[in-house]
A and B are shown apart, each in its own frame.
Chain A
Amino acid sequence: MTARRGQVRVVEAVLAVFMVVAVVLLLMQFTKPLRSVYIRETSDLRRLGYNFLNSMAENNVYEKVLGNLIYEASKRFSSIGRCPEGWEENRLNDLAFFASTVLPQGLLFRVDVYTVQYDLAGGRAVLCPLGYAANFDVGKVSMTEAEPITYTYVCTGDPDRVRGSVLLVHLTIGYSG
């Protein structure tokens, strides 16, 4: 009689364990990590940003839109050995226009472009800003859930005077707020 009671308790205990595990699993299904929406969103933004930068690269947009600035910055760096001053405030309107037409509405972006000057004498790479393109007033509006994307680009398209130039592009893409 005692032995039979023990067996029943074991069966009850096993059932209880199954129930607890089932409840835990059920709870875990509903329990997502914190800010999961943010993670999904930023990964989409990143993919979008890279797609945008890649499509510009494949179509030689950098050479076409920034060719004169790249050439001028390289020329000045070659002649005076340092970057032109104050260019980080340049508004790259053509680039901004191109980005506005490509990126979805409602997104804010800022693209900072630098030429990477290889200083053989000094054995260093120097970043010279060409300016930035944005579709918002960077002094007044702030971005939320913004995603920074870094991209390097060796110019391969025409004209020859920029072919072989190296760019560093910082894209920040996000939402207003």
Chain B
Amino acid sequence: MRGRRARRGQILVVTVLIVGIIIMALLVNVYQMHTLFLRTRSPVVREVVAAVTADFKRALAAMLALATRAYFNYTEFSDLAERFASYGMSMYNRHNFTVARLAALTFLEYWRRSAIEAYGAYGLQVSYELLTLDLSRELGRPRSVKNLMKGYWYLPISGSYAYAKLRLNLTALGFYNWESDVFVGLTLVVNRAPVSVTSTNTTIQISVRFDGDVDTSTYPPTVRGYPYGNLIARGWVRVYYPERDSAGRYTGAWKLAKIKDVTYLGMGNYSITFEPAVEILTDPVTGQRYAPLMVVISDERGIVVEASTYDYLMFAIGRRTPDILIYYDSAGNRRTLARPSDISNEVYTLEMSANLSLYWLGMKLAVDPQLKLPPFPYVPIKQVRVNVSLDGTLSTLAERPIQYENWTTVPWRGVQVDIPVGLADPQMDLVKGDKYNVRLVFQVKFPTTSIRRQYVVLWWYDDLDAEPAAYPTQIQYIYREERGQVTWKDVWHPLYDVEFVDLEHQRSRDYHDYGGVVAFVLRDPVTDFAFGPFNLHAFDVFYGRYLGRYRPYGTWQVYYNYMRYSWIQAPIRIFAILDTTQVGNVYAAGDVRSDYYDTLAIVQVVNGTRYIPVITYIYWKNTRSGYGYWLCTGMGRGYADYFVYTAAGYQYRRNQTFVYTYSDVSGSPGGVLIRPDPGVLMAHWSSGGVGRAVVLNKAAVELLRSIGGSSASFSSTAAAPGGQRQGSIEADFWPYTTSKTVQQGTLLRYWAVLFDFRSSGSGFLSLPVSSAWQNAYIYTPMFLEDYAPRVVRP
């Protein structure tokens, strides 16, 4: 019994041993298989992951190159850009980083799908995530890459960047959840001041960095680029300098410098010597010296960066209007008139052209010769902004509305004429053109008489994604058709609604049918009551009537919004252009002629002001004689009780002032008051103290005299043809009672400004109603050539 029990114990021991041996053998075998698998798998995984990651990085770089090259110069890099036109990267979208980004995302999606197919044997699954990467360490200002790619250009530290987190699995190799921060970038740092300037050469220093390690220990991750040492061998660099005219003034254009030498100084630093010698300027705010230059670089991947050595243009606008005005009363006694300290209606709507000229009422402003304004960089218009001071100090220098317009200079009847051709395309470069030039329109206010000058800073956003700014505005274009008829072609302004009547909109609402004759009717902005039209020009009378027969006949072209950005209304002014060779007769349908005079007129309805400038060009194609010739007329529709005009100084004293009542007008022969020697101001107003003035510029006053001679007159008509009370103000070369001749080839260039005034209120003196005209008079100088503002050093 005992022997059997002992044998059973031995069998048990042997069984345990055998099982143990088998388990150990299996474990060893499994371990060995695992190590073998890892050893054979790791090179494949490593290589495939590296290949896919590197290719994704190349894809990012290619798309960044596409976006930046198209942005910089689509035409030059059309070999690349045009191949991606089907992705949306067309010439039309060359300055649209949003479109470039969409093109890149489309490309990357195709790339992702084709990579999955290409590496299908490894079971590749790949995706990417668009995250934020902080660039503040790289650019020295708070900036980041978001939504795949960004460009920050046109400043001394500029760069182009793309960033995404790549994720991939290799399911066939048992490899999962690989993540990689993929970043491509190129940073350019241009030293503002040159290293040296000789009589022929300039030497500057730049630093270039590329890509960089993404530091994920912070949120969002940050990056610092590696020094780029291949600029000479594999990339390129260009330097642009500003063109100057023979007087040494900057023209607004850029020229490509001739690079004489590029030396690599190590750590991504380069010294660049180029021709010519460049003038060194001083920043008026910081006192920092800089050479006005643009530097553009590209690396071997085609990524472009554009930097400039300065980030704004600064100047000041000096007010030149007198605060004590002199006039003479009707008896010839000298009077002085002090403006109120509140002159808040003195708001200048200025234009700065890409050729660096500044304009007011189409007149080029005098610029202090000491003021050096370098050109704008090759920056798209949409990125440009303006800061203007309010109290003449830097402390109130803040962003104000800006409007971008496209102007051209055309020969018109033998003279060069500047005309707007619409609001600008905000995505185009702000460059000086031979034919077209963009004008940046902004307003400079002088709220009190104590302020003699205001600072203006024109600057630009570095973000290539910047959109044109949409500013609140009180003016609005209203175009409406009812039953096939245009019933509204108006620009609404809080002080008045301007209804443009023309061939397209012939019948003024609840007023007259103009039969295609061009005018604009001032209406009450609340009740829509028509105060009567402003007539641009008129010649001869109709069958003995006292009202002008041949007036401009055609169609107003109204410009009120931006190309592409149609939802952005013109924030500063809406303008209407008339260019016609015909004249027509309000009182006889079909009496349209092409053998009298041509008209070119620009009317501006300006936000935040009380004035409407009307710049007019008239050319006489034939010699004509007729009774009455009017430079312009402002009708009244009976609201006016008082009338005034100032004398030009040919028959009376200059600015001798004559005030009339309606009974003076209605009691005049034929119901038309005719007075000689019209000057710069004529106005009419109601006993309620609401008035409208027409300020003629010096050229207009001189034209009245040179063409009309001693017949030049101010007139006012008491009644409309139907007998209704009218009460107009009219500037006549000669009145309807006189017949004279105007010669073929006579060319008239002048402006008239409609000005809305009150007998009291903000920006006005508190006056008795009979003297309300003085509130127009205190603002008259700002519309005259001799008192135009001056552009000075800040």
Contact = CB atoms under 8 A, between A and B. Distances in A.
Interface of A: 2, 6, 9-10, 13, 16-17, 20-21, 24-25, 28, 33, 36, 39, 43, 46-47, 50, 53-54, 57, 60, 74, 78, 116, 118, 120-121, 125, 149-161, 163-164, 166, 168
B283 interface: no
Interface string B52-80: 10110011011101100100000001011
B337 interface: no
Given A120-B86, A154-B58, A33 B80 contact: no
A118 B79 contact: no
A125 B113 contact: yes
Nearest to A13: B13
A156 B62 contact: yes
B114 interface: yes
Interface string B36-47: 100110011001
A118 B21 contact: no
B107 interface: yes
B51 interface: yes
6 contacts: A43-B40, A46-B44, A50-B47, A54-B51, A54-B54, A157-B302
B83 A164 contact: yes
B264 interface: no
A164 B62 contact: yes
Contact of A153 (B6, B10, B55, B113): B55
Contacts of A6: 6, 9
Given A6-B9, A160-B79, A163-B80, A33 B36 contact: yes
Contact of A152 (B6, B32, B52, B302): B52
Contact of B114 (A21, A116, A157): A116
A153 B9 CA distance: 70
Contact of A24 (B25, B110, B119, B302): B25
Nearest to B117: A125
B478 interface: no
Given A6-B6, A53-B51, A54-B51, A157 B301 contact: yes
B172 interface: no
A73 to B, nearest CB: 12
A1 to B, nearest CB: 12
Nearest to A47: B43
B118 A150 contact: yes
Interface in B81-129: 83-84, 86-87, 106-107, 110-111, 113-115, 117-119, 121
A47 B47 CA distance: 7
A161 B83 contact: yes
Nearest to A151: B51
A121 B86 CA distance: 9
B21 A152 contact: no
A74 B85 CA distance: 14
A21 B114 CA distance: 52
Nearest to B25: A24
Interface of B: 2, 6, 9-10, 13-14, 17, 20-21, 24-25, 28-29, 32-33, 36, 39-40, 43-44, 47, 50-52, 54-55, 58-59, 61-63, 65-66, 69, 77, 79-80, 83-84, 86-87, 106-107, 110-111, 113-115, 117-119, 121, 300-302
Nearest to A119: B110
A161 B80 contact: yes
A164 B2 CA distance: 90
Contacts of A78: 83
A164 B66 contact: yes
Given A159-B79, A164-B83, 20 more contacts: A16-B17, A25-B28, A28-B29, A118-B107, A120-B110, A125-B110, A152-B52, A152-B118, A153-B58, A154-B58, A154-B111, A155-B62, A156-B62, A157-B300, A157-B302, A158-B300, A160-B302, A163-B62, A164-B66, A168-B114
A54 B54 CA distance: 9
B64 to A, nearest CB: 10
B50 A166 contact: no
B368 to A, nearest CB: 45
A164 B28 contact: no
A74 B187 CA distance: 32
Contacts of B66: 163-164
A70 B92 CA distance: 27
Nearest to A60: B300
The 4 closest A-B pairs by CB, nearest first: A160-B80, A160-B79, A50-B47, A154-B58
Contact of B20 (A17, A39, A120): A17
A57 B52 CA distance: 12
Contacts of A152: 51-52, 55, 111, 114-115, 118-119
Contacts of B301: 156-157
A147 to B, nearest CB: 10
Nearest to B52: A152
Nearest to A58: B54
Contacts of B83: 74, 78, 161, 164
Contacts of A125: 110, 113-114, 117
B305 to A, nearest CB: 16
B718 to A, nearest CB: 72
A164 B84 contact: yes
A9 B7 CA distance: 11
Nearest to A43: B43
A164 B65 contact: yes
Nearest to B114: A125
Contacts of B21: 17, 20-21, 24
A10 B13 contact: yes
A50 B43 CA distance: 10
Contact of A156 (B14, B28, B43, B65): B65
A172 B6 CA distance: 68
Nearest to B303: A156
Contacts of A36: 36
B9 A154 contact: no
A151 B63 CA distance: 20
A161 B61 CA distance: 15
A155 B2 CA distance: 87
Given A43-B43, A164-B65, A2 B2 contact: yes
Contact of A57 (B14, B39, B54): B54
B499 to A, nearest CB: 49
Nearest to A24: B25
Residue among A9, A28, A151, A156 with max Cβ neighbours from chain B (10 Å): A156
B102 to A, nearest CB: 12
A87 to B, nearest CB: 19
Contacts of B54: 54, 57
A24 B24 contact: yes
A159 to B, nearest CB: 7
Contacts of B9: 6
A52 B687 CA distance: 94
Nearest to B36: A33
Nearest to A71: B79
A17 B10 CA distance: 14
Given A43-B40, A118-B110, A155-B62, A150 B119 contact: yes
Residue among B28, B52, B107, B118 with max Cβ neighbours from chain A (10 Å): B118
A149 B119 CA distance: 10
B72 to A, nearest CB: 12
B55 A154 contact: yes
Contacts of A25: 28
A164 B111 contact: no
B17 A13 contact: yes
Residue among B20, B58, B61, B79 with max Cβ neighbours from chain A (10 Å): B58
A46 B55 contact: no
Contacts of B113: 125
A128 to B, nearest CB: 12
A158 B236 CA distance: 12
B220 to A, nearest CB: 26
Contacts of A20: 17, 21
Contacts of B115: 152
A28 B32 contact: yes
A28 B50 CA distance: 35
Contacts of B79: 159-161
